[in-house]
């Protein structure tokens, strides 16, 4: 009998039933003390369970509120662990670097990473620090259309930046006349676009 794991709903776990009537695990009921019979039953059950549930050894249980989720962890441990740590940078295209500098450097206040010179690249660009990660702004033709994009940047490809106070950024955008939309879920987040229609999300996080 093939054992199988299933997703858990309402906190209930479905497990394969184990039968003890296999020839190798047959438990003889005879004139023996009850405690001996129970001991043999438990031993047979354990042997049967070990054999028929070997492939479940990679199954891990994760508590998610009141529900328990069973997931196969074999894929994560299949030898493809290449050591991903974090996002290093996001590359964004711009038509005019000076115009984009006005937005990213002067309006948002991002600092340029001077340690990454662009003189070795065949196009103009700049690296901005965003916490410990970066945005690489590149002056290249943008293949994406500027018109017809979703009004709400959350429904488009977007880069998300964590901020301390969304209300302060909202005031900056209001003063500069930058269009924006707020999070549809009601959480403290604001969506805007740079001069090349690249969508940006700014989400408020606790310190």
- Same domain membership, residue 155 and residue 135: no
pLDDT, position 78: 56
Mean pLDDT in each 10-residue stretch from start to end of the chain (207 residues)? 37 36 41 46 47 39 40 53 93 96 97 89 95 96 90 96 97 97 95 97 92
- Same domain membership, residue 171 and residue 122: no
Q: Give the domain range for residue 99.
A: 87-140
Kindly state the greatest CA–CA separation across the chain: 94
Residue 173 inside a domain? The answer is: yes
Indicate the DSSP class of residue 12.
B
CA distances 180 to 4, 169, 177, 198, Å, are: 49, 11, 9, 12
Helix intervals (H) in the chain: 34-52, 97-101, 166-176
Residue 155 inside a domain? The answer is: yes
pLDDT, position 55: 37
- Same domain membership, residue 126 and residue 153: no
> With contact defined as beta carbons under 8 Å apart, do 192 and 149 qualify?
no
- Element housing 127 (H / E): strand 125-130
- Same domain membership, residue 169 and residue 127: no
The predicted model scores a pTM of 0.61
Q: String of b and e for 28-55 (b: at least 16 CB within 10 Å)?
A: eeeeeeeeeeeebeeebeeebeeebeee
Block residue for tokens 């996002």: 87
- Same domain membership, residue 91 and residue 108: yes
CATH code, 190: 3.10.180.10
Q: What are phi and psi of 47, to 5 degrees?
A: -65, -45
- Same domain membership, residue 98 and residue 127: yes
Question: Where among 95, 118, 140 does a domain terminate?
Answer: 140
pLDDT, position 101: 97
pLDDT, position 4: 39
pLDDT, position 27: 38
pLDDT, position 117: 78
Residue 64 inside a domain? The answer is: no
- Same domain membership, residue 130 and residue 155: no
Number of folded domains in the chain?
2
Residue 49 inside a domain? The answer is: no
């Amino acid at each position: 009998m093939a054992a199988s794991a299933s997703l858990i709903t309402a906190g209930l776990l479905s497990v394969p039933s184990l039968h003890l009537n296999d020839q190798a695990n047959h438990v003889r009921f005879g004139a023996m003390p009850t405690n001996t019979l129970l001991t043999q039953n438990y031993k047979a059950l354990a042997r049967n369970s070990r054999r028929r549930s070997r492939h479940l050894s990679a199954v891990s249980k994760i508590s998610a509120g009141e529900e328990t989720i069973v997931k196969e962890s074999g894929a994560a441990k299949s030898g493809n662990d290449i050591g991903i740590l974090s996002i290093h940078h996001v590359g964004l295209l711009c038509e005019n670097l000076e115009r984009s500098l006005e937005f990213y450097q002067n309006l948002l206040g991002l600092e340029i990473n001077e340690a990454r010179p662009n003189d070795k690249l065949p196009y103009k660009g700049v690296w901005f620090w965003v916490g410990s990660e970066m945005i690489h702004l590149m002056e290249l033709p943008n293949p994406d259309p500027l018109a017809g994009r979703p009004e709400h940047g959350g429904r488009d490809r977007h880069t998300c930046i964590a901020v301390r106070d969304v209300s302060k950024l909202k005031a900056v955008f209001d003063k500069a006349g930058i269009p924006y939309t707020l999070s549809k879920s009601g959480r403290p987040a604001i969506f805007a676009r740079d001069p090349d229609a690249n969508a940006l999300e700014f989400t408020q996080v606790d310190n």
